[in-house]
């Protein structure tokens, strides 16, 4: 009996399921990966519709999960979260809704990260100015606004001088 060949949509679905085993994906990410794999547009469209109907692709849930995990395991500012979600293909309005729902305490996160970095840099042979610059640059790379980064660093310096 000859082996039955699977259709392209079936192959695309199987590939998408393998991708989703590793981590959730946005619709745009899934589409991009399927395109990279060389599936025809019709197979991609069928696969994405199937995945959305099955609840396997949900950009709102993906954005919430991504942002919550990011804040819990590698805290950052809302600017970086916005950029990462945009890069993952999440719509701007969904990003804003997600950030409004999560409402991260950006100031508290910045202070905590600044304290952690400040302590780490104390073991290095750096001047206080170099340490301030490094902590400020770290906070900026993590997506905190300049004014908040500067405020967190200043509070550290004042706290260090008081000790």
Specify the pTM.
Answer: 0.82
**In CATH, what class is 58-104?**
mainly alpha
Average pLDDT on 33-43 reads 93
**In CATH, what class is 1-57?**
mainly alpha
Q: Which pLDDT score is estimated for 3?
A: 44
Same CATH fold assignment for domains 1-57 and 58-104: yes
Q: Which pLDDT score is estimated for 160?
A: 62
Q: How confident is the model at residue 126 (pLDDT cuts 50, 70, 90)?
A: confident
Residue 162 has pLDDT above 70, yes or no: no
Encode 79-114: b = buried (16+ Cβ within 10 Å), e = exposed: ebbbebbeebbbbeebbeebbeeeebebeebbbebb
Average pLDDT on 100-127 reads 90
Q: How confident is the model at residue 1 (pLDDT cuts 50, 70, 90)?
A: very low
> If we measure between CA atoms, which residue out of 154, 134, 133, 136 comes closest to residue 145?
136
Average pLDDT on 131-145 reads 95
Which residue's structure tokens are 């979260």? 81
pLDDT (tens digit, 9 = 90+) per residue, 63-108?
999 999 999 999 999 999 999 999 999 999 999 999 999 888 999 9
Contact status, residue 46 vs residue 12, Cβ threshold 8 Å? yes
Distance from first CA to last CA of the chain, Å, rounded?
82
pLDDT (tens digit, 9 = 90+) per residue, 2-33?
443 457 889 999 999 999 999 999 999 999 99
The domain limits of the chain are 1-57, 58-104, 106-162
Q: Which pLDDT score is estimated for 4?
A: 39
More confident residue, 61 or 128: 61
- Average predicted confidence (pLDDT) for the chain: 90
């Amino acid at each position: 009996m000859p082996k039955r060949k699977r259709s392209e949509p079936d192959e695309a679905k199987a590939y998408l399921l393998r991708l989703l085993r590793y981590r959730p994906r946005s619709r745009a990410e899934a589409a991009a990966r399927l395109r990279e794999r060389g599936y025809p547009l019709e197979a991609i469209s069928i696969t994405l519709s199937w995945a959305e109907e099955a609840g396997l692709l949900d950009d709102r849930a993906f954005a919430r999960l991504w942002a919550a995990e990011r804040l819990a395991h590698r805290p950052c500012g809302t600017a970086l979260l916005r950029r990462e979600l945009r890069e993952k293909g999440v719509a701007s309005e969904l990003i804003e809704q997600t950030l409004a729902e999560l409402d991260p305490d950006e100031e508290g996160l910045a202070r905590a990260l600044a304290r952690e970095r400040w302590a780490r840099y104390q073991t290095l042979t750096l001047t206080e100015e170099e340490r301030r610059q490094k902590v400020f640059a770290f906070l900026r790379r993590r997506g905190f606004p300049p004014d908040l980064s500067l405020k967190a660093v200043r509070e550290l310096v004042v706290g260090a001088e008081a000790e």
